[in-house]
Amino acid sequence: MIWLFHRCGEYLSCEVRTCLENAGFELLIARSGRIQLEWYPDESEIEHRWQSLSRELRREGWGEMYGDEMTRQRAMRR
């Protein structure tokens, strides 16, 4: 799953995916050209981390982007 967030002209993406190299899950966080990769051994741990991270982002003023909004933002950058 991929989630996109925006705040004052900044963009951040979060992706939860299965780890291809070993058992478990990865959380990939990309922001301002930086990438942070975290590994979790099972679904319950990645779910707990995602819930915590999404609450933290909202407290910091990040809003989720949805279909129409993403299309509009892409058009504005062209």
Overall pTM surpassing 0.85 (yes/no): no
pLDDT digits (tens, 9 = 90+) for 6-40: 999 899 999 999 988 888 999 999 998 899 999 99
Label residue 75 by pLDDT band (50, 70, 90). very low
Label residue 46 by pLDDT band (50, 70, 90). very high
Q: Are 59 and 7 in contact (CB under 8 A)?
A: no
Residues 6+ apart with CB under 8 A from 15: 1, 2, 3, 26, 27, 28, 30
pLDDT digits (tens, 9 = 90+) for 49-70: 999 999 999 999 999 987 554 4
Residues constituting the chain: 78
Could you tell me the domains of the chain? Answer: 2-77 (2.20.140)
Q: Report the pLDDT value the prediction gives residue 66, as an integer from 0 to 100.
A: 77
